[in-house]
Amino acid sequence: MTTTVPTAAALALGDDALVLSHRLGEWAGHAPVLEEEVALANIALDLLGQARVLLSTVGDEDELAYLREERAFRNLQLVEQPNGDFAHTIVRQLYFSAYQHLLYSQLAAGDGPFAGLAAKAVKEVAYHRDHAGQWTLRLGDGTDASHERMVRACTALWRFTGEMFQPVDGLDVDWAGMDTAWLESVEAVLRRATLPLPEGPRSGAWSAGAGRQGVHTEPFGRMLAEMQHLHRSHPGASW
């Protein structure tokens, strides 16, 4: 494939994967059960692998990850949201993996510059979606306490889901069709998990421009401060 890689698109997809991977990495040593230490790290590693491929197509992966300022990142606000409790992490995974699966399926089916990466990644993402779906069922239909936590998490993150379907330059996909398919798939999982579909708006004034335009939420700056500190403390060093 000789098509040139559209920078905005590579950054959007790469930053989503990079940032979510980082958040999942924060769980290490804190997961509720040993099997989830393995699973969350596995998902984080898949995403980090995707991020490295994507960022490397448009520059040096480390310069892009460690030397950009917050406003230059193009990830969705959803993926930068703090882990919260396990319910929040699972709902963030549910929302994002459903989106990423639809997006990568379309990219894999096309002949654009991301078709190869998407074809490989979509298999990984199918597992991420399944993992999130299984936990949504257990937590939604588990105990009253877990159900309550899931309702809160679904509602809290709902307002970050509209942004996912704003078209990204360079990605030739059916955004409106994906939005509809996403809503159907998430609604189906929530219904099986006895969870109500959140009622609030999926985007609004708070997300004006949003992550794809480099407008992020407050916790993101702190995340980057931690992530970039060591690299920036030794300019020019190699590791």
Partner 1 sequence: MATAAAHKAYGTEEEHAGTAAYERAFDAAVAADGRIEPRDWMPDAYRATLVRQMAQHAHSEIIGMQPEANWITRAPSLRRKAILMAKVQDEAGHGLYLYSAAETLGTSREELLDKLHSGRQKYSSIFNYPTLTWADVGAIGWLVDGAAITNQVPLCRCSYGPYARAMVRICKEESFHQRQGYELLLALSRGTPEQHAMAQDAVDRWWWPSLMMFGPPDDESAHSAQSMTWKIKRHSNDDLRQRFVDICVPQAESLGLTLPDPDLKWNEERGHYDFGPIDWTEFKEVLKGNGPCNEQRLTQRRKAHEEGAWVREAAAAYAAKHSDDTKAEQA
Chain contacts with partner 1 (rule: CB under 8 A): 18, 22, 25-26, 28-38, 41-42, 44-45, 48-49, 51-52, 55, 61-62, 65-66, 85-86, 137-139, 141-143, 145-146, 149, 226-227, 229-231, 234, 236-239
Smallest distance, partner 1 to C-beta of residue 55, A: 8
Q: Which is nearer to partner 1, 117 or 210 (CB)?
A: 117
Q: Which is nearer to partner 1, 22 or 131 (CB)?
A: 22
Q: Which is nearer to partner 1, 21 or 161 (CB)?
A: 21
Smallest distance, partner 1 to C-beta of residue 104, A: 20
Instruction: Give the total residue count for the chain.
Output: 239
Closest alpha carbon to 147 in 187, 88, 194:
194
The rounded Cα 70 to chain-centroid distance in angstroms is 17
C-alpha span between 237 and 239 (Å, rounded): 7
Q: At what angle do helices 86-109 and 175-192 cross, to 10 degrees?
A: 140
Cβ of 227: how many Cβ atoms within 10 Å?
Answer: 16
Smallest distance, partner 1 to C-beta of residue 83, A: 11
Q: Which is nearer to partner 1, 112 or 133 (CB)?
A: 133
**What are the residue ranges of helices labelled H in the chain?**
7-25, 34-56, 61-67, 77-80, 86-109, 115-140, 144-158, 175-192, 218-233
Smallest distance, partner 1 to C-beta of residue 69, A: 18
Smallest distance, partner 1 to C-beta of residue 205, A: 31
